[in-house]
Amino acid sequence: MRAANEGLRARYPQRSLVPFARRQDNDDTACWDAAEPDRVVVIHDFASSGWERRASYDSFYEWLRQAIDDLIDFDRG
């Protein structure tokens, strides 16, 4: 996650992101964002600045529920 953090900081310097999870099948990274401290934002890393936000969730648990659903779908292939 250290490399992801450094990369996000370099590509999106206007944002204060702290990554904590990354998808294995694409460049989506779940982050805490200082501008929205109670939410989880999903950043599509390597997208053009301004287009990087893929999704946002009102809480960690809402994000976790979606992550588990995505894992189940991925595992089913």
Q: How many domains does the chain have?
A: 1
Residue 54 has pLDDT above 80, yes or no: yes
- State yes or no: pLDDT of 77 exceeds 90: no
Q: What is the pLDDT of residues 36-53, one digit of tens each?
A: 999 999 999 999 999 999
Its domain, for residue 17, covers 2-76
Q: Look at residue 27 in the predicted model and tell me its pLDDT.
A: 92
> pLDDT per residue over 3-35, tens digit each?
888 999 999 999 999 999 999 889 999 999 999
70 band by pLDDT with thresholds 50, 70 and 90: very high
Strand (E) or helix (H) holding 56 = strand 53-57
Sorted by sequence, the CB contacts under 8 Å of residue 10 that are 6+ apart come out as: none
